[in-house]
A = this chain, B = another copy of it.
Amino acid sequence: MVWDPLAGTRVLDLAQPMRRGMPQSPNHPPFRMAIERRHGDVMRPDGGSAANELIVTGGHVGTHVDALAHVSQDGYLHGGVEALSVQGHLGFTALGIETFGVYVGRAAVFDVARLHGVPSLPPGYEITAADLAACDAEVRPGDAVLIGTGWSRRWDEPEAFVGHRAGCPGPGVEAAGWLVERGAAIAGGETIAFECIPPGAGHAVLPVHRLLLVERGIHIVETMRLAPLLDTGATECLLVLNPLPIVGATGAPVRPLAVLP
């Protein structure tokens, strides 16, 4: 049967836990959960009781996939779709996250932190094409590509993780172009934005988003918890990527899985 080959495989959880106060971009609604009904509030006639919650969040909060609707350039989304014509009160009528669907396939893993012999790259470090070429990993057309900066190991340092002052490591346009040339279909990383964020500059411009989302139609996965995958030293894995099908959203939370032999 289909699952027999999975016997003995390892399944790694690549999502960061979601809770109030977790690192996230100030551009997006802060995650908040309140337990609305608690046990004991309403007792059913048979002594049973149910609890539930009220959740406020954004589509780019926690580990998430960016939809192609997320970024435009000069007024246009990927494929020349005019942004103003597809955005409305129910979300986007084109290129929303539900159009991504689901990815179950190969991922190439480039651990640039390991390449440099550090647990995490320094803030503001720009990953280059040479870095990627020096990693022992191979992109095949249609692949997802996961770039290890080791940044997910700093999840418990919210201020450093967000990197407003010191910046965050990430691929520059050159490195992103290197991935594009090799046929990458999805690009994922550990930081809030899949970009090199220089110290003090903030998210003033997002050139890698432009290249991937707008020009090439390549989806981006952000705030991934790649640490357990990087720890294995694997250079490839099976990736399961199934973001919540929120119709018309510019992004959605996801709990990605890596399957390893």
Contacts and interface: CB of A to CB of B under 8 A. Distances in A.
Interface residues of A, number: 98
Contacts of A77: 39
B245 A17 contact: yes
A interface SS class: mixed
Given A48-B72, A104-B6, A34 B54 contact: yes
A32 B247 CA distance: 11
Contacts of A206: 44, 48, 50
A19 interface: yes
Contacts of A2: 5-6, 9, 237-238, 259-261
A30 interface: yes
A243 interface: yes
B56 A54 contact: yes
Contact of A59 (B39, B53, B56, B89): B53
Contacts of A133: none
A15 B71 contact: no
Nearest to A5: B5
Count this chain's copies in the assembly: 4
29 contacts: A1-B238, A1-B261, A2-B237, A5-B5, A6-B105, A13-B242, A15-B242, A17-B247, A19-B90, A29-B54, A29-B56, A35-B92, A35-B248, A35-B250, A38-B88, A39-B72, A40-B83, A41-B88, A41-B89, A45-B205, A48-B205, A49-B83, A50-B209, A51-B72, A52-B250, A53-B91, A54-B58, A242-B255, A244-B255
A62 B55 CA distance: 13
Interface of A: 1-6, 9, 11, 13, 15-20, 27-30, 32-42, 44-60, 62, 69-75, 77, 83-84, 87-92, 98, 101-102, 104-106, 204-207, 209-210, 214, 236-238, 240, 242-251, 253-255, 257, 259-261
